[in-house]
Amino acid sequence: MKPEMRQIILRQLDRHVSEMNRFRQLVPRPSRGWLRAVREALGLSQNVAASKLNITRSAWTKLEGLEEREGISLATLRRAAEALDCDLIYGLAPREAIAETFADLATPNDPAMKHLLATEHSMDLEGQAVGDLRSKERL
């Protein structure tokens, strides 16, 4: 991927992640899980919620327990959310600024960076080393 494109993607991800971080702070996960919180807010019994998903009440109870213990699959959580007429919103929110985090993760695996480092090493051996700033400008 070209460096310019990578920078555009990083900026877009950074914007989305900052919005997700604000959401995470404003709306923390309910202690008993989203399924139970939404079901109760809608005034639905476990029987009614289960029937919307075509499962038994005990199976619904198990789903709520799995979510509470963070053991539910995304596919199952998505189906349960749909039964409650909700959308599942899923994402990862890095704790640091995304541009730094993803750049740090991507740099060692970036073919352009590997090529640049190999070239710099060869040039250094030949007494033609280029400073750090000039190297980064080339990327």
CB 18 within 8 A of CB 25: no
Measured CA to CA, the distance from residue 74 to residue 66 in angstroms comes to 11
What mean pLDDT value characterizes the chain? Answer: 81
Q: What number of other Cβ atoms are within 10 A of residue 50's Cβ?
A: 21
Q: For 53-108, how does the pLDDT look when each residue is reduced to its tens digit (9 = 90+)?
A: 999 999 999 999 999 999 999 999 999 999 999 999 887 777 766 555 555 655 66
Percent of the chain past pLDDT 90, that is, above it, reads 42
Confidence at residue 4, expressed as pLDDT on a 0 to 100 scale: 78
Tokens representing residue 86 in the block: 């909700």
Q: What is the pLDDT of residue 28?
A: 85
Has residue 138 got a pLDDT over 50? Answer: no
What is the rounded (10 degree) CA torsion for 77, 80, 86, 90?
Answer: 10
